[in-house]
Amino acid sequence: MTYDLIIVGGGIGGSALAAVMARAGRNVLLLEKSEHYEDRVRGEWIAPWGVTETRRLGIYDLLMSAGGHHITDHVTYDESLAPAECEAAPLPLGIFAADVPGPLCLGHPRHCQTLYDAALAAGATCLRPVIVDAISLGARPSVTYTHNGVQHIAHAPLIVGAEGRQSEVRAAASIPLHQDKPHHWFAGLLVENVKGWNPTRQAIGTEDNFGFLAFPQGGDRVRVYGGYALEEKGRFNGEDGARRFLEAFRMSCAPDNAALAAGTPAGPLFSYFNNDSWTDEPFAEGCVLIGDAAGWNDPINGLGLSITYRDVRMVSDILKETQAGAAPDFTPYAEERAERMRRLRFAGRLQATLDMEFGEAARERRRSYHERKSADPTLGMHGVAIMAGPENAPAEIFTEAHRARVLGLQPA
Ligand SMILES: Cc1cc2nc3c(=O)[nH]c(=O)nc-3n(C[C@H](O)[C@H](O)[C@H](O)COP(=O)(O)OP(=O)(O)OC[C@H]3O[C@@H](n4cnc5c(N)ncnc54)[C@H](O)[C@@H]3O)c2cc1C
């Protein structure tokens, strides 16, 4: 029961890392809590820079053969703009990363299963469902877990926390998680039987007290998300909540949304409050954190998968380069991640302020932003950070002066 690496959590990050490290010849144990992957309303859209990360990890073709679907253009709607004006010049999404036609969509349960199967095929020991009973770190790390009713203890020089927001490895390492205040509610639903939606076009928009995002998944399926004010906590509660949620997509400013509203719910409707979180140092003696366990970005940006794939790439590169018997140095990963998450936190807060605040003042701010941006496209540069990667936007974008410019505020 001694491994090179024990990974707790077999979702996107854990299964991808297990596959990559098993392919590199390491003896990997992957422990996953669930028996089956279910739709819990998580990420199904990978940004162009995240697609590049999947290529670098050697798993892009795998995702495509599992049903990956590329989106190639984007339209932003707003109640201050005429629909024809918005649709006249869709943003081509193939401009953000070399050889990437646009964002890549794949259902989350199938995405996880594909990576888990790849880890198994590469020779990792993959166990599920597993209950993790105890994690011990420090000089001789171990995980005590129960599988098929039998308790085991496994040892490895390194334990990876990849079990999402409620990370037990993070808790065992006493790594503090910082969180900022929730900004808005964000609900998601998979819709099928959507007739007439352009299958390669994504759209976002805000009207009245609702902001929407729609990402076609291939065929007649579209993953939709909707944002609404924190004060409206129970807005879509109840048996007919999914139907009322879809009705909220009917907007004068986005007439094609009628196709979404007429679709059929194909999964659960779950709501989360959106915020950002981060760790100062996502590692400690005997452990490293990846993906949401290390801190997450506001899902308004849709970047959790891209962030997780970058984490997997950086951590796997460090592990592959570390001499046998030596302790890996995760400092470069921690430094890159801190700046990456700072920039994405900034971009997310700006996007949420623009798209997910409601009422007269917010409406006027959006109107003014769209008007000024058509004359000065640099006001939309935070979008480059989201699509092309935070390191590919100029540093001055992530400053209070830029924020004031975008929102039409007096500089502080
Ligand atoms: C509403 C919403 C919409 C989103 N939309 C997008 C999007 O469009 N694009 C995008 O890129 N990101 C999006 N995200 C974020 C994205 O889903 C996550 O950032 C991403 O899934 C993180 O991957 P992960 O591997 O860290 O965690 P997960 O994918 O959550 O995997 C964690 C795994 O660990 C397992 N686990 C948990 N506890 C234990 C335990 N104790 N022992 C063993 N196993 C355990 C779980 O069963 C799970 O399989 C969204 C998030 C939300 C909430």
Q: What is the pLDDT of residues 273-289, one digit of tens each?
A: 999 999 999 999 999 99
Whole-number Å distance between alpha carbons of 203 and 194: 14
pLDDT digits (tens, 9 = 90+) for 318-346: 999 999 889 999 999 999 999 999 999 99
Angstrom distance (rounded) from CA 7 to CA 311: 14
Q: Tell me: do 39 and 58 sit in the same domain.
A: yes
CA 113 / ligand 1 centre spacing (Å)? 13
Alpha-carbon span 255 to 244, nearest angstrom: 17
Nearest alpha carbon, ligand 1 atom 15: 304
Question: What is the extent of the structural domain holding 209?
Answer: 69-105+184-274
Is-contact 246 226, C-beta < 8 A? Answer: no
Residues 198 and 263 in one domain: yes
Query: Measured from the CB, is residue 51 less than 6 Å from ligand 1?
Result: no
| Ligand 1 midpoint to CA 273 (Å) | 15
Q: How many domains does the chain have?
A: 2
Indicate if ligand 1 lies below 6 Å from the C-beta of 122: no
Per-residue model confidence as pLDDT tens digits over 126-184: 999 999 999 999 889 999 999 999 999 999 999 999 999 999 999 999 999 999 999 99
- Most ligand 1 atoms within 8 A of CB, residue of 8, 39, 42, 135 to mutate: 42
**Ligand 1 atom 35 nearest Cα:** 9
Q: How confident is the model at residue 257 (pLDDT cuts 50, 70, 90)?
A: very high
User: Which of 305, 287, 284, 285 is closest to 296 using CA atoms?
Assistant: 305
Q: Would residue 411 count as lying in a domain?
A: no
Ligand 1 within 6 A of CB of 161: no
Contacts of 79 (CB under 8 A, 6+ apart): 206, 207, 208, 251, 252, 253, 363, 366
Q: Is residue 349 part of a domain?
A: no
Residues 55, 111, single domain; the answer is: yes
Say if residue 58 is in the same domain as residue 167: yes
Evaluate the CA torsion angle 244, 249, 253, 259 in order and state its sign.
Answer: negative
Measured by CA distance, the residue closest to atom 2 of ligand 1 is 42
Mean pLDDT (whole number) for 7-20? 98
The residues near 146 (Cβ < 8 Å, ≥ 6 apart) are: 130, 131, 133, 152
334 shares its domain with 239: no
Atom of ligand 1 nearest to the CA of 274: 53
Q: Do the beta carbons of residue 283 and residue 337 sit within 8 Å?
A: no
- Whether 168 lines ligand 1, by a CB cut-off of 6 Å, is yes
Residue 226: predicted pLDDT: 97
Under 8 Å CB-to-CB from 244, ≥6 apart: which residues? Answer: 235, 236, 238
How are the residues of the chain apportioned to helix, strand and coil, as percentages rounded to the nearest 5? 40, 25, 35
What pLDDT shows up at residue 325?
87
33 lines ligand 1 (CB under 6 A): yes
Mind giving me the DSSP string for 372-395? HHHH-GGGGTHHHHHHH-GGGS-G
Tens-digit pLDDT profile for residues 356-384: 999 999 999 999 999 999 999 999 999 99
Any ligand 1 atom below 6 A from CB of 145: no
- Closest ligand 1 atom to the C-alpha of 13? 25
Q: At which of 274, 297, 312 does a domain end? A: 274
Q: Is 272 in the pocket of ligand 1 (CB under 6 A)?
A: yes
142: left (phi > 0), else alpha (psi -120 to 50), else beta? beta
> Is 85 in the same domain as 192?
yes
| Percentage of the residues of the chain whose pLDDT score is greater than 70 | 100
Sheet holding 69-70, edge to edge: 45-46, 104-105, 69-70
Among protein residues, the one with the nearest Cα to ligand 1's atom 33 is 11
Residues 46 and 159 in one domain: yes
366: exposed, middle or buried (Cβ count in 10 Å: 0-12, 13-18, 19+): buried
The answer to whether residues 283 and 334 touch, using CB atoms and an 8 Å cutoff, is yes
Q: Are residues 169 and 193 in the same domain?
A: no
Distances (CA, A) of 247 to 243, 290, 352, 363: 6, 37, 22, 21
Indicate which CATH number applies to the domain containing 20.
3.50.50.60
Interatomic CA distance for residues 294 and 308, integer angstroms: 9
Answer yes or no: do 31 and 95 share one domain: no
| Minimum CA distance residue for ligand 1 atom 38 | 163
309 lines ligand 1 (CB under 6 A): no
CATH of the domain at 231: 3.30.9.100
Choosing from 341, 375, 390, the residue where a domain stops is 341
**What distance in angstroms lies between residue 201's CA and the mean position of ligand 1's atoms?**
25
Q: What is the pLDDT of residues 211-247, one digit of tens each?
A: 999 999 999 999 999 999 999 999 999 999 999 999 9
Q: How far is the CA of 365 from the centre of ligand 1 (A)?
A: 33
Q: Are 308 and 251 found together in one domain?
A: no
CB-based burial of residue 381 (10 Å sphere; 0-12 exposed, 13-18 middle, 19+ buried)?
middle
Instruction: Name the residue type at position 107.
Output: G
- Could you tell me if residue 379 is inside a domain? no
Q: Is residue 304 part of a domain?
A: yes
Whether cis (ω within 30° of 0) applies to the bond prior to 129 is yes
Q: Is 200 found in the same domain as 137? A: no
DSSP β-ladder status, 5-8 and 201-207: unpaired
Show which of 220, 247, 274 is a domain's final residue. 274
CA distance 158 to 138: 9
pLDDT at 411 exceeding the cut of 80: no
28-31 and 125-127: which strand pairing? parallel
Find tokens 């009245």 and name the residue.
208
Hey, which bits of 20-174 come out as E strands? 28-31, 45-46, 69-70, 73-78, 91-92, 104-105, 125-127, 130-136, 142-147, 150-155, 159-161
Query: H helices within 101-205, ranges in order?
Result: 108-121, 168-172
Q: Is 302 in the pocket of ligand 1 (CB under 6 A)?
A: yes
In a domain, 204, yes or no: yes
Alpha carbon distances (Å) from 82 to 38, 253, 270:
39, 6, 31
Contact 183, 352 (CB under 8 A): yes
Contact present, 126 and 119 (Cβ < 8 Å):
yes
Distance CA 326, CA 388 (A): 35
Q: Ligand 1 centroid vs 383 CA: distance in angstroms?
A: 23
Ligand 1 contact, 276 CB (< 6 A): no
Take residue 218 and report the two structure tokens written for it: 């291939």
What was the pLDDT predicted at 138? 86
CA of 379 to the centre of ligand 1 (A): 31
Question: ∠ CA(265), CA(268), CA(271), 5° rounding?
Answer: 115
Question: Do 112 and 261 reside in the same domain of the chain?
Answer: no
